[in-house]
Amino acid sequence: MKKTSKLLSLLLAFVMVFAFVAPVTKAASPTEPKTNKVVLHKLLMSESELSDWDPESITEEKYDGTQTIQELANNTGKDLKEIAGVYFAFQTEAGKWIDAEGKEVDSVDKALGGLTTATGLTLDTSKLPEGKYQIVEVTEKSTYVGENGETLTGQKAVPVMITLPMYNSDGLVEVAQVYPKNTEQKPQVDKDFKGLANAENPDATVSETRNYTIGESVPYEIQTIIPKDAKYATARWSDQMTEGLTFNNDVKVTLNGKDLTVKTDYTVTKSGNGFKLELTAEGLKKVNGQETAQTIQINYTATLNSATMVEVPESNDVIFNYGNNPDHGNAPIPTKPSNGEITATKTWAEGEAPEGVKVEFVLYNAQTGKEVARYTLQDGETSHKFTGLDNDTEYKVVETFNGYSAEYSTEGNGQIGVKNWKDNNPKPVNPEEPKVETFGKKFVKANDSNERLQGAQFVVQNKEDNKFLAPKTSEQTTQEQQALATAKTNLDEAVKGTDLAVIANAQEEYNKAFIAAKTSYVWVDTKEEALIITSNAQGQFEVTGLKEGEYQLVEIKAPEGYAKLQGPVAFSIAKGSYAQGDMAYVDGSGKTDAQKVINKKVTIPQTGGVGTLVFTIIGLVVMTGAGVVLVKNNKKETL
């Protein structure tokens, strides 16, 4: 009896099935004893439960291959959880797929197998020849996804090694109950500024909003922890930025601190205003089936460009698509409305919508991340139009649910496409993203009587190092850059003249070209290289795209009839400064949202005027008198 118990315990370590091996020499016949059915129950356990599960301690009295799950739970004192959606299929001992009659087939789709249900998977084994088999878990055909996006990881008794027919100490087992076991885990992902990402505890720090000057590079970091024993067929990061950020195409990827190789371990492709980074088959080998969790870190930068708006956050959103199956998902793509409207259109890779599936579109402000609206498509509907939106704001539509990946696309402003693919992967992980913003200040040029003055010209100086603000130069290779150069030349020529309307128009055209080219700021040493800002007919001008700090305006040309300022005008840039001041930017608005810059009228007569003539005559008279006195004095001295 001791020998029998030892054999039974050994078999439990692999399959939780007790079987005395019969000679494997002939095929089954109707008159021979058979195990007619094998019922697989997929058990889900925690890491500690799986680690503590000891088949050696389970005697045949507790499990002999015939117990139901409730009987096994009672006998072992364990709280056992059975799950549906895990695919198993039969193979020969040598790993060849076989059908219900034991014939080798060329694909898993033709093999004896199926998905587990909440009460198990029953497979008809009555026609299988005597012999040894393995029942393999097929991850690519499994549909199981945990409540929080977990996939199956650690395992015991997988694959199930079984000998048919099956026997226990009481004899033939006609209906065998087997219990392969798994744990489940999901990846952990965090995104932040460089040095702050913490995937183990992404909530340890609140994603902050930092301020930058246009042209500065913003460093980002994505940290992802792949659980041990992972079996991923997909590991892809999809990153989309709002239009005020420009991806610098400088991705660096490490695994546990060691560099991965682009094209060998991963690929990077540009996608929309961002990129997609995906592990290759070689890269997946390095993270799958490992005894410990694997940490992937992605570092890259984006430049804040001049499309950014004052105190409107620029967002950099990443989602991580993962799972045991190939996946088609990507990050939602920000877009602006057309005439205040965005239409989201749903399509299905399989052609028609699955029966009973409800699709909900959620519209977010892509810059702030705040929800704007949501809508559930009704039966027969394939699209929805969101209305009443701000044409200058970027939005994104989000629609995800387990089992389907969402592929987003845009066709110009106001159109978003969402194509769903049935891939049986978890909902992608979407960590909270950090945001960047820039600040500004509004000014009004006026005299002592608050009369608004046109044509004053300024440059901006940084008080920290006394450098001047200028557009960054580069090779004139694009149409926008060429237009910028032309506009700058026209402005320089206009400034040489005195026609204020021509100057203002040239300045406006230069500003437009500057924004169109998304040229960045740079700090230069001389005023001659600096960006010139001109007050318009309402005396208005503004400085935007700067980070928090102390600055000053240096006037290089005063309005006609006014004296140029003798010193710089100090101003502060910070959050809220764009709406703070001591004068209304728009006359009559009642606000105090601009800083007043006062010029005084010229009181010394101008060269060539009547005053000059008067002073010349007076001067001649005085000089003549002085000459007369001098002559008289000289004469007295010679007498």
Same domain, residue pair 239 and 372: yes
Place 481 in a pLDDT band, splitting at 50, 70 and 90. low
Q: What is the pLDDT of residue 517?
A: 56
Highest mean pLDDT among 31-40, 574-583, 600-609: 574-583
Same domain, residue pair 235 and 363: yes
* Torsion angle in degrees (nearest 10) through CA of 308, 309, 312, 314: 0
Contact between 304 and 218 under an 8 Å Cβ cutoff? The reply is: yes
| Long-range CB pairs of 497-502, under 8 A, 24+ apart, other chains included | 498/560, 500/454, 500/455, 500/560
Closest CA to 398 of 333, 342, 456: 333
In a domain, 493, yes or no: no
In a domain, 27, yes or no: no
How far apart CA 573 and CA 170 sit, in angstroms, is: 86
Contacts of 151 (CB under 8 A, 6+ apart): 144, 145, 184, 185, 186, 230, 231, 232, 322, 323, 324, 426
The dihedrals phi and psi of 514, each to the nearest 5 degrees, come to: -60, -45
Place of tokens 């959103």: 317
Q: What is the pLDDT of residue 7?
A: 37
Place 223 in a pLDDT band, splitting at 50, 70 and 90. very high
Number of H helices, E strands in the chain: 7, 41
Reduced DSSP (H G I as helix, E B as strand, rest coil) percent helix, strand, coil of the chain, to 5: 20, 35, 45
Q: Compute the C-alpha angle 393/399/402, nearest 5°.
A: 155
* Average of per-residue pLDDT across 142-155: 89
Same domain, residue pair 77 and 194: no
Mean pLDDT of all residues belonging to the chain: 85
Final residue of a structural domain among 185, 214, 243: 185
Closest CA to 220 of 304, 286, 279, 294: 304
Same domain, residue pair 255 and 402: yes
Same domain, residue pair 306 and 174: no
Contact between 508 and 542 under an 8 Å Cβ cutoff? The reply is: no
How far apart CA 204 and CA 197 sit, in angstroms, is: 10
Same domain, residue pair 61 and 95: yes
What's this model's pTM, rounded to 2 decimal places? 0.78
Closest CA to 317 of 331, 302, 300: 331
Question: Residue 422 in 3-state DSSP?
Answer: strand
Contact between 58 and 181 under an 8 Å Cβ cutoff? The reply is: no
Whether pLDDT at 122 is above 70: yes
Q: Which of left, alpha, beta for 114 (phi over 0: left; psi -120 to 50: alpha)?
A: left
- Tell me, what CATH number does 582's domain have? 2.60.40.10
Place 64 in a pLDDT band, splitting at 50, 70 and 90. confident
Same domain, residue pair 287 and 424: yes
Contact between 318 and 277 under an 8 Å Cβ cutoff? The reply is: no
Place 30 in a pLDDT band, splitting at 50, 70 and 90. low
* Average of per-residue pLDDT across 233-244: 95
Total domain count, the chain:
3
Of 416 and 7, more confident: 416
Question: Residue 404 in 3-state DSSP?
Answer: strand
Question: Which 8-state DSSP code applies to residue 210?
Answer: E
In a domain, 18, yes or no: no
Question: Which 8-state DSSP code applies to residue 583?
Answer: B
In a domain, 343, yes or no: yes
Owning domain of residue 274: 188-430
Contact between 236 and 276 under an 8 Å Cβ cutoff? The reply is: yes
Q: What is the pLDDT of residue 379?
A: 86
pLDDT tens by residue, 161-195: 999 999 988 899 999 999 898 899 999 999 999 99
Instruction: Annotate 129-194 with DSSP letters as a single string.
Output: PSEEEEEEE-GGG-----TTS-EEEEEES-SEEEEESEEETTEEESEEEE--EEEEE--EEEEEET
Question: Residue 285 in 3-state DSSP?
Answer: helix
Q: Are strands 439-446 and 595-598 parallel, antiparallel or unpaired?
A: parallel
How far apart CA 541 and CA 534 sit, in angstroms, is: 6
Place 576 in a pLDDT band, splitting at 50, 70 and 90. very high
Whether pLDDT at 617 is above 50: no
In a domain, 624, yes or no: no
Same domain, residue pair 274 and 366: yes
Same domain, residue pair 276 and 424: yes
Question: Residue 373 in 3-state DSSP?
Answer: strand
Same domain, residue pair 361 and 229: yes
Same domain, residue pair 211 and 310: yes
Final residue of a structural domain among 430, 449, 468: 430
Whether pLDDT at 346 is above 60: yes
Name the β-bridge partners of 108.
Answer: none
- Tell me, what CATH number does 337's domain have? 2.60.40.740
In a domain, 334, yes or no: yes
Final residue of a structural domain among 185, 200, 216: 185
User: What is the H or E stretch that residue 621 is in?
Assistant: helix 610-638
* Average of per-residue pLDDT across 236-253: 95
Question: Residue 47 in 3-state DSSP?
Answer: helix
In a domain, 399, yes or no: yes
Same domain, residue pair 210 and 277: yes
Question: Environment class of residue 178 by beta-carbon count within 10 Å: exposed (0-12), middle (13-18) or buried (19+)?
Answer: buried
In a domain, 9, yes or no: no
Q: What is the pLDDT of residue 119?
A: 93
The dihedrals phi and psi of 355, each to the nearest 5 degrees, come to: -65, 135
Tell me the residue ranges of DSSP E strands in 501-594. 521-524, 533-534, 540-546, 549-557, 569-573
pLDDT tens by residue, 36-46: 999 999 999 88
